[in-house]
Amino acid sequence: MLQDKAHPLLSVRNLTKSFSGKLVVAGISFDLYPGQVIGLVGENGAGKSTSKNMLCGLLEPTDGQILVNGQTVESNEGHAHGISAVHQELSLFGSLTVAENMCIGALPGSRLRVDWQQMQCIAREQLNFLGMDIDPDAAVFSLGAGQQQIVEIGKALLHADKVLILDEPTTSLTALEREKLFRILDKLKERGMAIIFISHFLEEIYRVCDSYIVLRDGHQVAGGALAGVSRRKLEALMVGRALEESADHGDVSDTGTEALRVEHLDSADCRDISFAVRHGEVVGIAGLMGAGRTEMAEALFGLRPSTGSVHVQGALLTERSVAAMKALDVCYLPEDRRNNGLFLNRPVRENLSAAAISRFIRRRLLKLGFAGERLATQTFSRAMGISIPHIDVKVDALSGGNQQKVLLGRWLASEPKVLILDEPTKGVDIGAKFDIHNRIGEIARAGAAIVVISSDLPELLQVSHRILVMRKGRIVGEFRRDQFDSVKIISLAASTGEEGLAT
């Protein structure tokens, strides 16, 4: 697949897209050479995913040209020219197996006879290549978020022959898998594949990209070789202002009373989980993909069958159900925002108020109507920095990061006493991420107990007072803030290092 390195593989000229008059991508132009990796960065809603969709033929550009090997590509056929993508919202089929998902774009065998054996082989090979232990026969819906993301990457890699676009491919991956992915990207690069890499993690951009393009409100505000551009500069370009460092959370006073105590929690994917969180404390939970963190959170929240006991504010919960939890001001932010979080075809307003609608019920006149819902949700939405024209747009039309902010907004707005956040900043841009970290700190200082599950270790190191490490469904270690050490945490999670470090 050796290509001529002197001629661009992909040229984009003045690519423009507007949704019913609103300009979303405003004339971006760039060239992409074989073996080159361009980082596409920008805030939430800057137009990155929209650009990707136009490149791989899912959206018709309002204006502009896409050229592959110097030839103009008609819209809707990017895929036919070897452009493939890892989509931000995974393009998987839940009820199909991993192997079927990976091979669906080019099923082996003939039209009338799919070669299952070969499909198995291809999938296995691909999974080995990715270094992942996933059963090719498993139905995708039964996989955790991280594994699904791996499947999506494997699927895209299978079909990519010229250009690969990765739209936030690492949001559910932990450091280990990320590094694996990057090494694969390096290999592809050597083979002459051209890559567009979209991410909110700037360290990843520096790790994999040669050049960069910054989008702000759909405009291409900067671009060029990455070497020599400082991280601060890049951030400033994206946000349009310099970012301040987020405040250090410091230590929590030991005096806080216990808000949440979990004892011997057992469920399908986690075993013998015991821990406690005090008021004002932020506990991070680290672990590899599929370590059972989501499972544990859902089990303790009453979303899955489980045994063991959970105490909230000292009182034992006899019946664990979402309603009971909510009554005690315990909240859970789910990881899978599309399936378990958002009401996609409902407006942002209803999504924001979904968990607290009863609070807005008008007291007068037969309790009909919702007083102040619009105002309150507008306030949340502004506080969360969600960029939308008005509060009644459907969530479906929002960019990935903004969707995440809506979801987060719903739970932060409900003023919880105990808050469990599963991957809270998935897909959120750097500016907003710092805001969210600060919010978490504020809420904790105000007396809430917070559990943060995250695959982004720096995030955990930043916000937590204490980090628990999970591996294969069990808690295998605990670190206090003064013991934080990313290497140790990772090695414990991966079980490559010494056993149980901290106490």
Site for ligand ATP in 29-88 (CB under 6 A): 42, 44-50, 88
The C-alpha angle 195, 198, 199, rounded to 5 degrees, equals 135
Q: Which is nearer to ligand ATP, 215 or 252 (CB)?
A: 215
**303 forms part of the interface with another protein (CB under 8 A):** yes
Is position 425 an interface residue for Mg ion (rule: CB under 5 A)? no
Select the binding partner of residue 58 from ligand ATP, another protein, Mg ion, none (C-beta < 5 to 8 A, by kind).
another protein
Count the site residues for another protein by CB under 8 A: 82
Stretch that binds Mg ion, among 8-16, 34-42, 153-161, 286-294 (CB under 5 A): 286-294
The two structure tokens encoding residue 194 = 């051209």
* Binding-site member from 43, 204, 281, 350 for another protein (CB under 8 A): 350
Q: Does 402 bind ligand ATP (CB under 6 A)?
A: yes
Binding residue for Mg ion, selected from 39, 280, 400, 473, defined by CB under 5 A = 400
In the bound state with ligand ATP, the residue whose beta carbon lies nearer, of 252 and 428, is 428
Q: Is 228 left (phi over 0), alpha (psi -120 to 50) or beta?
A: left
Q: Which of 31, 161, 217, 266 binds another protein (CB under 8 A)?
A: 266
Stretch that binds another protein, among 339-347, 432-440, 448-456, 482-490 (CB under 8 A): 339-347
CA atoms within 13 A on the CB side of 472: 3
CA-to-CA separations, 335 to 347, 366, 408, in angstroms, rounded: 20, 38, 11
Distance between CA atoms of 80 and 76, rounded to whole angstroms? 9
- Which of the listed partners (Mg ion, ligand ATP, another protein, none) does 350 bind, with a CB threshold of 5 to 8 Å by partner kind? another protein
From CA 353, how far away is CA 376, in angstroms rounded? 9
Which partner, another protein, Mg ion, ligand ATP, none, binds residue 248 by CB below 5 to 8 Å per kind? none
Residues 168 to 197 in contact with another protein, rule: CB under 8 A = none
* Contacting range for another protein; rule: CB under 8 A; set: 22-30, 194-202, 218-226, 326-334: 326-334
C-beta of residue 59 within 8 angstroms of C-beta of residue 76: no
Query: x/- string (CB under 8 A) for another protein, residues 461-500?
Result: -------x--xxxxxxxx----------------x---xx
Residues in 261-280 that interact with ligand ATP by CB under 6 A = 269
Site for another protein in 393-422 (CB under 8 A): 410
What is the nearest approach in angstroms of another protein to the Cβ of residue 483?
13
Q: Single out the residue of 37, 181, 289, 406 in contact with ligand ATP (rule: CB under 6 A).
A: 289
**Closest CB 286 distance from another protein, rounded Å:** 14
DSSP string, 45-89: TSSHHHHHHHHTTSS--SEEEEEETTEEPPTT-GGGGTEEEE-SS
Strands (E), 293-388: 306-312, 315-316, 330-333
The nearer residue to Mg ion, 57 or 400, going by C-beta atoms, is 400
Token pair in block for residue 99: 């192997």
According to CB under 5 A, which one of 11, 36, 88, 454 is a site residue for Mg ion? Answer: 88
Give the Cα separation of 112 and 166 in Å (integer): 33
Nearer to Mg ion, 348 or 413 (CB): 348
Give CA–CA dist 372/378, Å, rounded: 10
Instruction: State the Cα angle at 490 between 432 and 442, rounded to 5°.
Output: 30
The footprint of ligand ATP on this chain (CB under 6 A) covers a number of residues equal to 38
User: How many Cβ atoms sit within 10 Å of the Cβ of residue 327?
Assistant: 10
Which residue in 49, 171, 220, 402 binds Mg ion (CB under 5 A)?
49
C-alpha to C-alpha distance for 301 and 265, rounded to whole angstroms:
11
Alpha helices in 89-211 (DSSP H): 98-103, 116-130, 145-159, 175-190, 202-208
Question: Starting from the edge strand earliest in sequence, which strands make up the sheet with 282-287, in order?
Answer: 330-333, 418-422, 449-453, 282-287, 466-471, 474-480
E-only strand ranges, 301-370: 306-312, 315-316, 330-333
* Residue 16, strand partner residues: 63
Report the partner that residue 441 touches, choosing among another protein, Mg ion, ligand ATP, none (CB closer than 5 to 8 A by kind): none
Partner in contact with 451, chosen from another protein, ligand ATP, Mg ion, none, beta carbon below 5 to 8 Å by kind: none
- Cα distance between residue 378 and residue 384, in whole Å: 10
User: What residues line the site for ligand ATP (CB under 6 A)?
Assistant: 19, 24, 42, 44-50, 88, 142-147, 172, 269, 287, 289-295, 335, 387, 397-402, 427, 429, 455
User: What residues line the site for Mg ion (CB under 5 A)?
Assistant: 49, 88, 294, 335, 399-400
